[in-house]
Structure 1
Amino acid sequence: MDFQPDAGLDVFRAEVRAFVRENLPADLAGKPVGSVRSMRADLVRWQKILNAKGWAAPYWANQDGGTGWSVLQRLIFDEECVAAGTPTQDGFAHKLLGPVLNAFASDEQKAAHIPHILNGDRLWCQGFSEPGSGSDLASLRTRAERDGDFYVVNGQKIWTSYAHESDWIFLLVRTDAEVKKQAGISFLLVDMKTPGITVRPIRSIDDCHHLNETFFDNVRVPVANRVGSEGDGWTITKFLLNNEHASAAELPLLRRYLIQLRKLATAQRAGREPLIARPEFALRLARLEAEVTAVAMMVKRVAALEQDHSAEAHALGSILKVRGTELQQRISEFMVEALGDHGAVAYPEPHDTCDGDALPFQDVGRGIANEMFFRRASTIYGGTSEVQRGIIAKMLFQL
């Protein structure tokens, strides 16, 4: 691709930067972000500001109610939001479910859900993984049996991030156990207030609550809430998982880490000088920054391939997933190391309040240890590194 500067993109970046500077409330700027998304109140407030501007859906086409931005424009938007410290959007709704609704949902389903997503009135979680059905998603056992105009759903999902804060869940269920396992899956939209749904917290290794077990006990879901035809769930899921390969590296997260690491290195002292002045530290930081820059260049390449609908984007997206998640782990480990002895302190998670006396480096160190622990799973969720390497090998062989 052409890496020469684009004056049009420079103008666009200036527009985004000016909007964020003028419209981001001061009390939201730079607030800690949870492992996946911001606190609900912050997320919703920022989403309504974006919606009023017409920027509610940066990743969607114009005809779907989105901005119609190119992939490179979306990357710029993400970069400027990270640099300004804005709250996140609901990634489950905007990057996963939204494209599915736009491509497969009926007009009635779009009218029922899209406006609420755009205005931040309805938050979503994802019901895919089950105990014993992680990487082998097609082996899921949660079943949905037809009863007139309803499905009766029974089963269990696990690792349902933010199910305790979500209004709805998009859910994979088995509607036919007699056919090939991939062919018997359907895609449902379920109101989390429906009787029979139980959400139990999972406190993960980072000692935070963002994961859950979700149980379905004779939950009655209208057939009208099924997206696509019965048995289309696998096709829809492949579309969902293949969408936006350029986002696989989580580049905004890596850049947020580097910003946080530089703040920490300025605040932390090694003897009489700030940590950033130590040559060995500065060298390691520079190497990490170079690696993130290399990932950013590859993200732009994948974005260009996506716009050309090239098959190479899929394999390179898997490469980005592997490289990006490995970098997440290494940088988060380095941040804990930079805290020195204070790295052993049990800092509160970003969404908790801190009672009593202030902890050392509370402003810049808050959530670092939690984040490092959480990122142990980043090479597992969304497709393990082993699975990604298999995809890479298969795709490159075909190319």
Structure 2
Amino acid sequence: MDYPKSRASELGLYNGKFTSGIPGLRPASVDDASFMNEMVDSILAVQVAAGQTNAEGDVTQLLKGILALMQKQVILDDTGTGANAYAATNMIPLVTDSLSRGLEQRIVVGHTNTGASVYSPDGMAEKPILGLAMQPLQGGEMVEGGIAVLAYSPTANDNAGAWILVRCSGGAQQLAAASKTNHAITKGQADSLYAAIGDVSSQVGKPFFWPVGSSPSDGILMNGASLPSATYPALFSKLVKYKNGATITIATPGVVNWPGHGFAANAPVKFTTTGALPTGITAGTTYYVVSTGLATDTFQISATVGGTAINLSGSQSGTHTAISAPYGCANDLSTFNVPNVPSDYTVVQASGNEGSTTVGQVIAHSHAAESQALAVGVTGGPTSYGQNAGQTSSTGGPANLAAGVRMRFYIHFK
């Protein structure tokens, strides 16, 4: 909408605008029906776009319409086709001069990003999308179907300009590193904190006491039981180490090659094969790592803990598998055993059920008691003595017990 400058002479415009005229100097402008209709239609278009019904007597409708449109957020469709490349078309196309600080774009994300991403509205040059930490995206911050809010920053990206991802529904949010007590921490900071106290993301393989009668949902009783490896894969990987394709050097003594085995002296190890093992090793028999010759990738074995390294001879064939399962496992690795803590080994109080508290007691016993009496007669008369033996009653229980709670040892399997 603009003044009808193309008809300035016809309508009597002065300096491109309508004038009331000056008597004797210039005439008043002509009221043009076409222009007046265009002007009113433009105003009505704003009111209709804001969802209003035009009312002749309501002079506040234009203001209400403008305010309503300010509250209404335009959400554009993502038209980007390349991986991690996003685009959109605005009703009024953006140009370089319109890229002002804080200019926002809202788009319905067409595909989930997998790494650093760019945005190019209205065919403009691509500019990077940065997270709130002013770093390139890493993946998963913009999710397919989510509504992403992008704000332009002319000083970001070393003053070359970038779009800042303010938020995206369903997407991960990038954060700056926390520096105050009420700040949210990043995953990197959390990982650093947890590293100091160990991996708390998983308790698999860690033993724990359980002081109640029912079994825990994430624990297996440590009673030496055999478990199917397929059912408890995480616990299996914690308790059993194996190397399919371990090689054995026939020598005096023999040497087992297992890159990065991580064993200490006396660690148990056994072997299986698809062919034949060297003479000196029997499949399925447990041997022990010898301290002598123990290296990062190789070790020797003995038949007993702390024993002499075994000499190997003969020939070998097939693929060998070396297995270390301190608590036992099947030769085909289909099952494995949990540690065995004998029944009542962890009992604090032997009486009662798990989780029940009991008072202490002393084993029942009795004590001997003896009394003596002395009787003295009259002068010149006889003197008498008496002695009586007795016993206290027996009280107490069948054993000496401390007060406490009966507990068992379990091991986390998830």
Larger fraction in helix: 1
* TM-score, normalised with respect to structure 2: 0.19
Q: Which has the higher contact order (CA 8 A, sep 6+)?
A: 1
Computing the radius of gyration from Cα coordinates, the structure with the larger value is: 2
* TM-score, normalised with respect to structure 1: 0.19
